[in-house]
Chains A and B, each alone.
Chain A
Amino acid sequence: MTEKELAEMAGFSVESDLMRHEPNNFGPAVERAYEALRSLAENDIDITDIIPSI
């Protein structure tokens, strides 16, 4: 299922290009929190030396 289909299933009517927008009106500190989340999604930090197993 595509990102757009998932969003529409959740009740949004969106254009796929708009889905690429990141929050941009929350101020620098909050934007930093979103940046951290996006960055971690794209470039994982391995923590298996800290948490070896679940």
Chain B
Amino acid sequence: MSKPPSVINDQAHWRAAEHLADVLRTCLAAYRIEADISMRILFDVIKRWDKDIRRVSEVQDGNVSAVKYIAYQTFWLRKLKPVTSAFRVADIAAAEEKSKLSEESAMRWLANQEVIDINEQLAVAVAVKHLLWYAKSGDFPAPYAAGQFDANTQVGAPVPFDVDALRRYLQYFLKYSATKPTGAQRKTTRDNLVYNLRYRTFGPHHLTHVFEQALMAVQSGQNIVP
């Protein structure tokens, strides 16, 4: 049975919300975007995430893939949308230049540059960071066939999960775009994921499936990146 909500849990949740805010701010800085982050909504994200991961953990006796924890966090970020008024620093600078001619048209132009899918974009970025963190921390073991391990020769022993292979796979997978018959490029896998997160029914189970595919691709040991 889970423990009832308590003051100390609220404090812990607030602390976790601050950690998540720090991760989001780091992302925004890396991508040169200015935005507002609602701590109250992030607190809500953490509480909903916590409720889900405790429930999943209880149902599965604590034996839960980290991928599910990542998927639930991604889901609540895209669902509750804690980030607003996101603009690229370059666009803000461009608008300042334009405002020398006409402030009204510059502001109208800037309004149209707002990164309206910032929450979905950040949710994917935070998920990728988590995937790499768990991989580096040894939480994703490379599988080996049961019964094939020979203790004397060590043949069949599991090898450490290949973190670099996961990075290479994510580089390839998220940037991949098919070529249309006309020769033009389709949207990338990341564009597609962001679109579906924003406009389609896309729950934690869908995200779990997407992330598990990446891990399984690496665990298969096949060189799937051309």
Chain A residues with CB under 8 Å of chain B are: 3, 6-7, 10, 12, 14, 18-30, 32-34, 36-42, 44-51, 53-54
Contact = CB atoms under 8 A, between A and B. Distances in A.
B124 to A, nearest CB: 7
A36 B33 contact: no
A21 B8 contact: yes
B30 A49 contact: no
B98 interface: no
A47 B125 contact: yes
B14 interface: yes
A50 B174 contact: yes
Contacts of A25: 3, 9
Contacts of B206: none
B48 interface: no
B134 A12 contact: no
Given A14-B7, A22-B16, A42-B22, 5 more contacts: A32-B139, A40-B19, A41-B18, A48-B30, A54-B33
B139 A22 contact: no
Interface string B130-147: 101110110100000000
Given A38-B19, A41-B22, A41-B23, A32 B167 contact: no
29 contacts: A6-B39, A10-B14, A14-B7, A20-B15, A22-B16, A23-B12, A26-B50, A26-B54, A27-B62, A29-B62, A30-B62, A32-B139, A34-B12, A34-B16, A37-B16, A37-B23, A39-B133, A40-B19, A40-B133, A41-B18, A41-B22, A47-B132, A50-B128, A50-B170, A51-B128, A54-B31, A54-B33, A54-B118, A54-B125
Nearest to B126: A40
Contact of B57 (A14, A26, A41): A26
B200 interface: no
A17 B56 CA distance: 31
B113 interface: no
Given A27-B62, A38-B19, A47-B125, A33 B53 contact: yes
